[in-house]
Structure 1
Amino acid sequence: MPSIFSRIVAGEIPAHKIAETDDYLAFLDVMPTATGHTLVIPKKEVDYIFDLDDDLYAGLMAFAKKVAPAIEKAIPCKRIGVAVVGLEVPHAHIHLIPLNSIADMNFYNKLKPSQQELAQTAALIRQHL
C-alpha cells in the first residue's frame, strides 16, 4: 500500500506544494510545529532515509538546501531547523522548520492552520524561490 506521501506525489491527496522536480517534492506539513514547516521528500518511496541510494540522498539534501532559504525569507525566523525523525510516515522525508527557539522543534506541539492559512503560507514561500 502506498504511503500518504506517495499518494500526494500521485495527486491522489492534495498538498500545499512549495517546490517540485522530477525526483523531489517539498510541501507544507498540515500539522506543523511552526508556520512554514515544510516536508521535503524523494518521490521514490523508500521507508528509511539511510536506505536511499547515495545519489538520491545527496539530491534530497541539495533540494532541501534550495527550499530552506525561501522559507527563511518568507517566514520571520532566526534559522531553518532540519530534522529527520522517520517514524511517523514510512517514506523518507526531511522536516524544514522555521525556528526562533528550540521550542519550535517540539513535535508534540502541533499548530492547526486552516487550509486557507496553509495556501497563503505556501504562496508566500513560493514567491522566494
Structure 2
Amino acid sequence: MATLFTRIIDGDIPGRFVWADEICVAFLTIQPRRLGHTMVVPRAEVDQWVDLPADVAAHVFAVAQMIGVAQRSAFDAQRIGVLIEGYEVPHAHVHVWPSRTPDDFDLRNVMREVPDADADRAAATLREQLRRDGHAEFVPEH
C-alpha cells in the first residue's frame, strides 16, 4: 500500500507543492511549526533516511538547504529548523521550517488548524522566493 506521501506525490491527495524534480518533491505540511514549514520527500518510498541511496540523500538535503535559504528570506526567519524523525509516515522526509524563536523547535508547538488562505499564501510566498533564487524550473505553479 502506498504511503501517505506517495499518495500526495501521485496527486491522490492534494498538496501545496513548492518544489518538484525527478528525485524529490517538497510540499507544505498541514500541521506546521510556523507558516512555510515544508517537507522534502524523495519520490522513492524508502522508510528511513539512513536507507536512502547516498546520491538521493545528498539531493534531498541539497533541496532542503535551498528551501531553507528561501524560507529565511521569504519569512524573515532568524534560524531555519531541520528535523528527520519519520514515526508518523514510513517514508523518508526532511522537515524544514522558518524560525523566529527557540519555541519553534518544541515538537509540541504545531499549528493544528491553519486556514487555507494562510497556507496558500505561505506556499505562494515560498514559491516566489524560490523562483527569485534561481530555481524556477523546479517550482510548480501550485
Query: What TM-score results when the alignment is normalised by the length of structure 2?
Result: 0.87
Shift in Å, 1:95: 0.6
Structure-2 residue corresponding to 1:13: 13
Structure-2 residue corresponding to 1:107: 107
Shift in Å, 1:97: 1.3
Letter in 1 for 2:70: A
Cα deviation 1:38-72 (Å, max 9, x = unaligned): 11010111010001011111111111112111111
| Percentage of matched positions with identical amino acids | 36
Shift in Å, 1:18: 0.9
Letter in 1 for 2:71: I
What pairs with 1:30-49 in structure 2 (closer than 5 Å)? Answer: 30-49=30-49
CA contact (8 A) 2:71 2:77 kept: no
What pairs with 1:1-129 in structure 2 (closer than 5 Å)? Answer: 1-111=1-111, 112-129=113-130
Shift in Å, 1:87: 0.9
Letter in 2 for 1:123: A
Partner-residue secondary structure (3-state), 2:129? coil
Q: What residue ranges of structure 2 are gaps of 5+ in the alignment?
A: 131-142
Shift in Å, 1:99: 1.2
Cα deviation 1:9-51 (Å, max 9, x = unaligned): 1010010111111111111111111111111010111010001
Partner-residue secondary structure (3-state), 2:72? helix
CA distance in 1, matches of 2:99, 2:33: 10
Query: What TM-score results when the alignment is normalised by the length of structure 1?
Result: 0.95
CA contact (8 A) 2:45 2:92 kept: yes
**Which segments of structure 1 move beyond 6 Å, counting only runs of 4 or more?**
none
Aligned residues: 129
CA contact (8 A) 1:77 1:100 kept: yes
Letter in 1 for 2:40: V
CA distance in 2, matches of 1:125, 1:100: 17
